[in-house]
Chain A
Amino acid sequence: MKLVKHWIEKIFATITEGIVGALDVFFSSLQKWFGVGSMPYIFVLPNLLIFGVFILFPMLLNFVYAFTGGTDFFPNRRPWVGTANFTRLFECQNFLVPNSCSEDLFWRAVFNTAGYVVAQVTVMVAMSLITALILNRSIKGQAFFRSVFFYPVMLSPIVVALIWKWILQENGLLNAIILSLGFDKMPFLVDANWARFWVVIISVWALMGFYTLILLAGLQSIPADLYEAAKIDGANAWQSFSKITLPLLMPTMLVVLVLSLIRAVQVFDIVFAFTGGGPGTATLYMVQYIYNNGFASPTKQYGLSASSSLVMAGALIVLTMIQLYVRREDV
């Protein structure tokens, strides 16, 4: 392992030196022509160019799509329709009944996402807190167990989805176990509620290690002498947990809560490969609704896709504000 690591570093270093050497001449002459004062601009330019063209410009363009209609892809050929796309999205007799809305799929996606976010974030925070607390005890093989819980984070969403599809399919491992215990097979991927349940479980399985790690770092930054002082004062385990651990872990908990919220709202790829939004529309979430309208459906509804993405962006901005407020000490 050491040798492999050494060689990777060596190859890496050689490549970097080559590139850097070649660029040396180029940038030195730039400095001669434009002067030292322009160098910072030259340094940010490549990043800014990519950032501007592929992130900032599309963001502005999204508004153009949201306020224009028709099925044409090129903005100059799309008629201005004002807020018609938004009106369409929010045209509902009863907001609680998706069927009464003209864009019923949008509202299904909204409700599915809301349900998913609440369930997933709750399970995620609870499970990663329990796991972090357990890993923080003086246990044997701590590094091993930490890796075990973290490893799924490294896997791609498609791999995660396929692994679980393989286990949960009708003739899969889980149904074999259930059958051998004397129960009937369960329709895990066919039943709407089971599909929703497993989407939550799988995403927690795949991402839990990440939040566990952040919480573990938070736990380890709590000074040990606090616990010793509490013990001398006669505090029991529960008291030192509720009076020391929990309050001091709160900032980290908030970070985990907000991060997992932001990511849960954007759930897409695991579910896309796992259920494809089905059965029916049971696991159709916001991003897939946006993707379907813009790319998958035969009649491309770019306007609806863009306007619904702006609605989602609004929700995300609120969450981001909370995140920045919570983490303001770090920046």
Chain B
Amino acid sequence: MGSIGTFLTRTRGYGRFDVVDFATYLYLFFGTIVMFGPILWLVLSSFKTSAEVVKFPPRLLPYRQETVAVKGYDEPLSIYNVTLEDGSTQVLAQVRRIGLEGQMVDPANPDEIIKVHINDRQPVESVVFSLDNFVEGIQSFNFLRYLINSIIVTVFATALTLLVNSMAAFALSKYQFRGSTTIFLVMIGTLMVPLSVILVPVFLVITGVGWNNNLLGVIVPGAATPTGVFLLRQYMLTIPDELIDAARIDGASEWRIYTQIILPLAKPALAVLTIFSVMWRWNDFLWPLIVLSRSELFTLQVGLNSFQGELNVQWHLILAMTVVTLLPITIVFAILQRNITAGIATTGMK
């Protein structure tokens, strides 16, 4: 308690814990609950059984009724604390329930059926973080397929984005050639035009190329991002031209200059673009939604959305699959957090 007290009353060197300091930590405290609470609630809920998930009011932790294998019964029976007529309590296993009456047996003495009013029994429960929902969700809803599709799209699209954009950025930053200004201005001009504005014609082009219901239709079109070219070009402009001239005198080909000099020196900018590309592609929804209509090609996002639209909402499976979807990006965030926040702060893009 003492350390918490010192922590809370620590100030910026005036020796007095003022109102502003108090408000600051109050804001941070509630901010943390609001920002992180929903995600924690999702994760806790994803471990609950289908019965526990629909229970109202909900309980914080994933409780699960304990079961016991009883001789003479194929299925394991759920166990209850039962208050008997004489006032004593006993742990019994329920065989079946008929109306307001539960037919119970003593696990030690399975032959004798004891009839108990359902109000006289309390389920024996314990907190179990079971992976049942995850296993069932992955098996019954083709999620493994969606997961693989998402990984394929993210990896190949990011590789293509890096290659194509860095090549273009190299040309636009280190060469003077006819049309370079035009190309750059057209790209800047479309920097802010979103896909949402050109939905119909994009779909026509993809149909024309024969890429609807093909992962290529998701991977290739978004690879030439003006944002990526712009980011890399601005960074490459800072690489001194003398390095390139020296390499040229030594007889290096232009491609060599690009791979041996430009790419290694542009690593920080490439890292930022990699992180963004992974984030964009993993979380992308609208483009795959348009391009893919066969469910075996769905990415996680499209799959998850179509799955929540189904008639009877099976929340316990949806929650588990939502956790699966957010896990990879969370790991990326945990590892690269500093690079991500620094990247956004300096480039101002997402």
Q: Hey, which chain A residues are within 8 Å of B330, CB to CB?
A: 151, 154
How many whole Å from A16's CB to the nearest CB in chain B?
8
Interface size of B as a range? 35 or more
Contact B334 A1 (CB under 8 A): yes
Task: Give Cα A49 to B165, complex, Å.
Answer: 12
Q: Which of B73-81, B100-108, B121-129, B314-322 binds A?
A: B314-322
Contact A139 B28 (CB under 8 A): yes
Say yes or no: A294-B203 contact (C-beta < 8 A), given A138-B12, A313-B193: yes
* 0/1 interface trace, chain A 32-46, chain B, CB 8 Å (1 if under): 000011011101101
Contact A148 B350 (CB under 8 A): no
Contact A47 B168 (CB under 8 A): yes
* 0/1 interface trace, chain B 14-55, chain A, CB 8 Å (1 if under): 000000100011011001101110110110010000000010
Q: Hey, which chain B residues are within 8 Å of A19, CB to CB?
A: 159, 163
| A320 in the interface (beta carbon within 8 A) | yes
Q: Hey, which chain B residues are within 8 Å of A309, CB to CB?
A: 196-200
Contact B254 A54 (CB under 8 A): no
Task: Give Cα A37 to B73, complex, Å.
Answer: 84
| B137 in the interface (beta carbon within 8 A) | no
Q: Hey, which chain B residues are within 8 Å of A266, CB to CB?
A: 194, 196
Contact B41 A173 (CB under 8 A): yes
Of all chain B residues, the one with the shortest Cβ separation from A162 is B322
Task: Give Cα A159 to B31, complex, Å.
Answer: 20
| A95 in the interface (beta carbon within 8 A) | no
Task: Give Cα A36 to B196, complex, Å.
Answer: 40
Contact A155 B283 (CB under 8 A): yes
* 0/1 interface trace, chain A 296-331, chain B, CB 8 Å (1 if under): 000000100110011011001101100100000001
Q: Hey, which chain B residues are within 8 Å of A43, CB to CB?
A: 167-168, 170-171, 175, 254, 258
Contact A28 B198 (CB under 8 A): no
Task: Give Cα A176 to B57, complex, Å.
Answer: 5
Contact B345 A214 (CB under 8 A): yes
Q: Hey, which chain A residues are within 8 Å of B319, CB to CB?
A: 162, 166
Contact B193 A50 (CB under 8 A): no
How many whole Å from B11's CB to the nearest CB in chain A?
10
Q: Hey, which chain B residues are within 8 Å of A158, CB to CB?
A: 285, 301, 304-305, 325
Q: Hey, which chain A residues are within 8 Å of B259, CB to CB?
A: 20, 24
Contact B164 A46 (CB under 8 A): yes
| B69 in the interface (beta carbon within 8 A) | no
* 0/1 interface trace, chain A 243-283, chain B, CB 8 Å (1 if under): 00000000000010001001000101100110010000000
Of all chain B residues, the one with the shortest Cβ separation from A52 is B224
Contact A180 B57 (CB under 8 A): yes
Within 8 A of A (CB), among B160-196: 163-165, 167-168, 170-172, 175, 177, 180, 183, 186-188, 190-194, 196
Contact B348 A24 (CB under 8 A): no
How many whole Å from B3's CB to the nearest CB in chain A?
12
Tally of A-B residue pairs with Cβ under 8 A?
A: 285
Contact A44 B196 (CB under 8 A): no
Q: Hey, which chain A residues are within 8 Å of B204, CB to CB?
A: 58, 61, 73-75
Task: Give Cα A40 to B25, complex, Å.
Answer: 55
Contact B335 A55 (CB under 8 A): no
Task: Give Cα A151 to B337, complex, Å.
Answer: 9
Say yes or no: A58-B205 contact (C-beta < 8 A), given A51-B224, A134-B28: yes
Task: Give Cα A55 to B193, complex, Å.
Answer: 9
Contact B203 A156 (CB under 8 A): no
Interface centre among B12, B197, B345, B350 (most CB of A within 10 A): B197
* 0/1 interface trace, chain B 276-318, chain A, CB 8 Å (1 if under): 0001001101100010000000000100110011000001001
Q: Hey, which chain A residues are within 8 Å of B254, CB to CB?
A: 27, 31, 36, 39, 43
Task: Give Cα A268 to B286, complex, Å.
Answer: 8
Interface centre among A15, A55, A164, A210 (most CB of B within 10 A): A55
Of all chain B residues, the one with the shortest Cβ separation from A286 is B196
| A100 in the interface (beta carbon within 8 A) | no
How many whole Å from A133's CB to the nearest CB in chain B?
9
Contact A216 B10 (CB under 8 A): no
| A167 in the interface (beta carbon within 8 A) | yes
Contact B329 A156 (CB under 8 A): yes
* 0/1 interface trace, chain A 125-151, chain B, CB 8 Å (1 if under): 000001100100111100001111111
Of all chain A residues, the one with the shortest Cβ separation from B45 is A166
| A62 in the interface (beta carbon within 8 A) | yes
| A70 in the interface (beta carbon within 8 A) | no
Q: Hey, which chain A residues are within 8 Å of B304, CB to CB?
A: 158-159, 162
Task: Give Cα A164 to B45, complex, Å.
Answer: 13
Contact B335 A5 (CB under 8 A): yes
| A67 in the interface (beta carbon within 8 A) | no
| A92 in the interface (beta carbon within 8 A) | no
Contact of A140 among B10, B20, B54, B159 (CB under 8 A): B10
| B5 in the interface (beta carbon within 8 A) | no
Name 8 A/B residue pairs within 8 A (Cβ), A-sorted.
A15-B159, A64-B201, A131-B27, A134-B24, A205-B34, A269-B286, A294-B199, A316-B193
